[in-house]
């Protein structure tokens, strides 16, 4: 009996060993039987990837024979999914890929995107974006991705919105659309409100946390967001997408496309209109946009022209809500009104508005801006594994924000006092506009070469920006000597930039080695405000990066990367300082280590990061030598954390998902400056050590599920928790945003091929449990008569609110 057991055990062991030595190989060619090199072949649900060689051969070694699905992908060819049985492991698999020149446009974004194996990367596809798109801006569509915190000035996700990733603000997040830079070259910010309903014309969005790979435009100083606009459609289509909901929110989108005409031409269009009263009083938004894309295809080339434009008129909600109004404390509200000399009307507004309080009451206190974007992309395939992409772009922006000002000093506008008899009037109520007229143009390029063992990308960008900043008084109670059209300030700026990168990946056995070298040069010319002279600065940055991927087995891999990034100060840092007080550029070193486990049912990854900053620019309250509150360099600061992401398909009708981010975000030492309003005026210096970086919660977590109780029906749930965020760098709880939790629920049901291809009814409940919370704010403190007064301002978010949607596709 014992002998028999040993023999059976030996046989079982031999069978395991032999099964582990099975190889899977094959050949890939085009429809004319020409071998295709560089085709990426992936075993679905595993980490296993192979690339075809010069004769089109691919091979997987040491596999266990069994049924699987192979995915074949190469730009310029239709992707193929091929089912493989266990018996076919002994055969040579033959696959023919049909030419699809339209997919060459993917090269626009492939060159600046990270490997999908990177555990610090998240990618959202068009169907997922479409499902979530009830009319809110793109930042809110990214809510379920790790380490993301979103903001909304109006409180309902329409109008001015923002996103922070790992506590990094929008000015440090590089954003591109089809590899074209989007960040404002001067402020580095991204104004999503200028691109209404962009999500309706988006194919994919990839978020790279950390330094990521080399990209175009402003430095990726903590994260990058790469957006690819919608693909060329092979078939004609028409779409009507309409949403209506709380706060008189209304979204209307119409899309249409010709499909490919004679396999050469295509045209896609979109018109959108979004309107909302906003949660805050008067915080309305009126947004219109259009998108047009036309393509011409030849056997080896794609020429694609894209125009998209957005026009926004938003009533300002920038002031924020005083903490006393948030807490509903009447005594503190009156004290706030006394301290800040509010008029009787403004005091009544504060006392009676509730959480929807908006400081602004002037009927036209609006932001009015239009931005037109033009892109032309030319992609040519010299051979299947050598592809060139060249793109030109031009962005034209113009607009203003209008303000009603009470008792402003006429001297602030270069106007003399008004003499009326024996009275000298030096102040006046007035209405002013601060205007911006700007042009941004340039070109980006990339050359992609792919072989079975390595791929190489050479690319870069050349861009120039012209910014014309000026202000006008359009009405004054006492106009002094002003004339119609007079400008009380003009500040013109020009910024030119050249960048280039070379990056490649070498594949050896279970290892992928990636190297990435980036050089960036920029010149910035601006008006020195205190001197009235045009000044210029120049920077040269070298940003090396490296990554390593190791496949432990078919389901598990390890990932590591290290990168350096540099970032210049923004416009405000230059124009409101002198050469002696001007801040230095920032530098960051980013180390990422990760592990992932993937099957067809489960995806799990854990990523640790350490982002070490040198000379990070922070607000300290210090007044510089030209009398401005500008940012100063903190010598040392860092972000250290871990991100966990998981999805699990428990059955055909239930999928669970979630992420958890835990981090420590510290500034080693800095000096806080408090204004002392006691006579004589001065500033008090307070030294802080090892405090938390502002707006950097130590915990960000979300959990949810997607349930399909029956065919074409989906129920989706998301719950999100954001830990305490400090409004400054002092770690003072009295100057912080309280932790908050909210939950969203959506329901959709689709009817297919009834009187059209698809009609979908969808319903969404935001903030299901009516949580009272704020997700953004600012603070200001000062000393008077030995007492410290702190003024906190917050941006409250809407309670429970609803959206209903009808989507029709023909």
pLDDT tens digits, one per residue of 221-272: 889 999 999 988 889 999 999 999 999 999 999 999 999 999 899 999 999 9
What integer is the mean pLDDT of 324-339? 96
172 by DSSP, 3-state: which?
A: helix
pLDDT class of 663 with cuts at 50, 70, 90: very high
**What pLDDT was estimated at residue 530?**
64
| pLDDT surpassing 70 at residue 374 | yes
Nearest Cα residue to 216 out of 372, 440, 439, 381: 440
**What pLDDT was estimated at residue 6?**
47
- Phi-psi region for residue 32, left (φ > 0), alpha (ψ -120 to 50) or beta? alpha
Q: Hey, where are the domains in the chain?
A: 2-99, 107-229, 237-320+358-809, 322-354
3-state helix, strand, coil in the chain (%, to 5): 10, 60, 30
| pLDDT surpassing 80 at residue 805 | yes
Q: Is 525 exposed, middle or buried (0-12, 13-18, 19+ CB in 10 A)?
A: middle
| pLDDT surpassing 80 at residue 12 | no
**pTM of the predicted model, to two decimals?**
0.90
| pLDDT surpassing 90 at residue 521 | yes
| pLDDT surpassing 90 at residue 356 | yes
Span 695-721, pLDDT tens digits = 999 999 999 999 999 999 999 999 999
Quick one: three-class SS letters along 431-493? EEEEEEEEEEEEEEEEEEEECCCEEEEEEEEEEEEEEEEEEEEEEECCCCCCCCCCEEEEEEE
Comparing 103-117, 265-279, 484-498, 507-521, the range with the smallest average pLDDT is: 103-117
| pLDDT surpassing 50 at residue 67 | yes
Comparing 14-28, 310-324, 439-453, the range with the smallest average pLDDT is: 14-28
| pLDDT surpassing 80 at residue 649 | yes
| pLDDT surpassing 60 at residue 10 | no
728: part of which helix (H) or strand (E)? none
pLDDT averaged over every residue in the chain: 91
**What pLDDT was estimated at residue 697?**
97
**What pLDDT was estimated at residue 360?**
96
171 by DSSP, 3-state: which?
A: helix
pLDDT class of 578 with cuts at 50, 70, 90: confident
Specify the higher pLDDT residue, 120 or 770: 770
What integer is the mean pLDDT of 369-377? 97
Instruction: Specify the pairing of strand 654-676 against strand 774-784.
Output: parallel
Question: Which residues make Cβ contacts (< 8 Å) with residue 671, sequence separation at least 6?
Answer: 620, 622, 685, 686, 687, 688
What integer is the mean pLDDT of 644-661? 94
- How would CATH label the architecture of 2-99? Sandwich (2.60)
pLDDT class of 17 with cuts at 50, 70, 90: very low
**What pLDDT was estimated at residue 225?**
94
| pLDDT surpassing 90 at residue 55 | no
| pLDDT surpassing 50 at residue 281 | yes
- Angle between the 344-352 and 330-339 helix axes, to the nearest 10 degrees? 150
Distance between CA atoms of 560 and 352, rounded to whole angstroms? Answer: 55
Instruction: Specify the pairing of strand 57-63 against strand 533-551.
Output: unpaired
Structural tokens at position 683: 């500033």
What integer is the mean pLDDT of 349-377? 96
Q: Are 129 and 123 in contact (CB under 8 A)?
A: no
| pLDDT surpassing 50 at residue 276 | yes
Distance between CA atoms of 271 and 770, rounded to whole angstroms? Answer: 33
What integer is the mean pLDDT of 411-416? 93
Distance between CA atoms of 126 and 257, rounded to whole angstroms? Answer: 16
CA distances from 735 to 686, 775, 790 (A): 16, 13, 8
Q: Which CATH fold would you assign to the domain 107-229?
A: Ferric Hydroxamate Uptake Protein; Chain A, domain 1 (2.170.130)
pLDDT class of 421 with cuts at 50, 70, 90: confident
CATH tag for 237-320+358-809 (out of 2.40.170.20, 3.40.50.720, 2.130.10.10, 1.10.287.70): 2.40.170.20
Q: Are 56 and 28 in contact (CB under 8 A)?
A: yes
| pLDDT surpassing 90 at residue 385 | no
**What pLDDT was estimated at residue 85?**
82
**What pLDDT was estimated at residue 628?**
75
What integer is the mean pLDDT of 53-78? 83
Question: Which residues make Cβ contacts (< 8 Å) with residue 101, sequence separation at least 6?
Answer: 76, 297, 298, 299, 300, 301, 302, 381
349 by DSSP, 3-state: which?
A: helix
What integer is the mean pLDDT of 524-540? 85
Structural tokens at position 737: 């945003």
| pLDDT surpassing 80 at residue 284 | yes
Distance between CA atoms of 118 and 550, rounded to whole angstroms? Answer: 11
**What pLDDT was estimated at residue 5?**
46
**What pLDDT was estimated at residue 557?**
93
What integer is the mean pLDDT of 546-567? 93
Span 126-147, pLDDT tens digits = 888 999 999 999 999 999 999 9
**What pLDDT was estimated at residue 102?**
67
């Amino acid at each position: 009996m014992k002998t028999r057991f040993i023999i059976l055990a030996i046989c079982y062991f031999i069978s395991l060993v032999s099964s582990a030595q099975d190889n899977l190989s094959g050949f890939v060619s085009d429809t004319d039987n020409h071998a295709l090199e560089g085709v990426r072949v992936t075993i679905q649900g595993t980490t296993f990837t192979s690339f075809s060689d010069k004769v089109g051969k691919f091979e997987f070694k040491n596999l266990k024979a069994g049924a699987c699905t192979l995915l074949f992908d190469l730009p310029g060819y239709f992707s193929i999914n091929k089912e493989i049985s266990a018996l076919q492991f002994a055969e040579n698999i033959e696959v023919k890929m049909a030419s699809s020149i339209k997919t060459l446009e993917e090269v626009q974004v492939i060159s600046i995107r990270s490997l999908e194996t990177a555990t610090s990367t998240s990618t959202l596809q068009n169907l997922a974006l479409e499902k979530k798109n009830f009319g809110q801006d793109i930042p809110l569509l990214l809510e379920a991705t790790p380490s993301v915190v979103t903001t909304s000035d109006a409180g309902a996700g329409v109008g001015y919105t923002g996103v922070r990733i790992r506590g990094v603000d929008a000015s440090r997040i590089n954003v591109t659309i089809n590899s074209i830079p989007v960040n404002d070259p001067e402020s580095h910010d991204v104004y999503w409100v200028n691109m209404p309903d962009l999500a309706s014309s988006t194919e994919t969005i990839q978020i790279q946390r950390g330094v990521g790979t080399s990209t175009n435009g402003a430095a990726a100083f903590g994260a990058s967001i790469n957006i690819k606009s919608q693909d060329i459609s092979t078939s004609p289509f028409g779409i009507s997408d309409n949403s209506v909901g709380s706060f008189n929110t209304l979204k209307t989108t119409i899309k249409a496309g010709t499909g490919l005409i004679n396999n050469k031409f295509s045209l896609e269009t979109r018109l959108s209109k979004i309107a909302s009263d906003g949660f805050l009083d008067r915080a309305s938004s009126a947004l219109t946009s259009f998108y047009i894309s036309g393509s011409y295809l030849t056997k080896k080339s794609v020429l694609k022209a894209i125009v998209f434009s957005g026009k926004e008129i938003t009533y300002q909600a920038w002031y924020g809500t005083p903490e006393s109004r948030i807490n509903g404390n009447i005594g503190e509200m009156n004290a706030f009104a006394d301290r800040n000399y509010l008029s009787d009307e403004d005091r009544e507004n504060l006392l009676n508005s509730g959480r929807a309080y908006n400081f602004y009451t002037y009927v036209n206190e609006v932001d009015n801006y239009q931005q037109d974007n033009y892109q032309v992309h030319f992609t040519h395939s010299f051979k299947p594994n050598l592809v060139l992409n060249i793109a030109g772009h031009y962005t034209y922006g113009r607009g203003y924000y209008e303000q009603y000002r009470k008792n402003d000093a006429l001297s602030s506008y270069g106007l003399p006092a008004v003499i009326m008899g024996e009275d000298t009037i030096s102040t006046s109520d007035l209405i002013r506009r601060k205007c911006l007229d700007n042009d941004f143009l340039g070109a980006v390029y990339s050359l992609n070469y792919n072989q079975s063992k390595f791929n190489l990308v050479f690319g870069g960008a050349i861009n120039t920006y012209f910014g014309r900043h000026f202000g006008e008084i359009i009405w004054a109670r006492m106009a002094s000597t002003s004339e119609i059209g007079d400008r009380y300030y003009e500040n013109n700026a020009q910024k030119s930039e050249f960048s280039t990168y070379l990056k490649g990946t070498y594949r050896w056995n279970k290892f992928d080695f990636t190297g990435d070298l980036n050089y960036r040069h920029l010149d910035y010319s601006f008006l020195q405000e205190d001197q009235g002279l045009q000044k210029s600065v120049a920077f040269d940055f070298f940003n090396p990066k490296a990554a390593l991927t190791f496949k432990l087995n078919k389901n598990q891999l390890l990932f590591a990367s290290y990168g350096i990034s540099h970032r210049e100060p923004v416009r405000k840092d230059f124009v409101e300082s002198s050469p002696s007080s001007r801040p230095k550029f920032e530098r960051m070193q980013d180390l990422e280590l990760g592990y992932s486990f993937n099957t067809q049912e489960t995806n799990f990854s854990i990523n640790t990061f350490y982002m070490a900053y040198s000379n990070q620019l922070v607000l300290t309250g210090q007044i510089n030598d030209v009398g401005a509150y500008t940012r100063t360099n903190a010598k040392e600061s860092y972000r250290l954390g871990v991100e966990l992401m998981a999805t699990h398909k428990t059955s055909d009708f239930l999928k669970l998902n979630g992420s958890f981010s835990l981090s420590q975000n510290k500034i080693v030492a800095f000096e806080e400056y408090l204004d002392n309003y006691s006579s004589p005026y001065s500033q008090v210096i307070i030294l802080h050590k090892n405090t938390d970086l502002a707006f950097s919660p130590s915990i960000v977590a979300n959990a949810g599920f997607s349930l399909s109780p029956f065919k074409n029906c989906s129920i989706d749930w998301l719950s999100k928790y954001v830990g305490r965020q400090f409004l400054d760098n002092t770690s003072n709880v009295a100057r912080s945003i309280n932790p908050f939790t909210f939950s969203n629920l959506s329901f959709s049901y689709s009817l297919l091929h009834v009187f059209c291809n698809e009609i979908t009814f969808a319903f969404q409940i935001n903030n299901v449990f009516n949580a009272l919370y704020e997700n953004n704010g600012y603070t200001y403190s000062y000393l008077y008569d030995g007492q410290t007064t702190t003024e906190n301002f917050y941006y409250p978010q809407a309670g429970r609110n609803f959206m209903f949607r009808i989507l029709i596709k023909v």
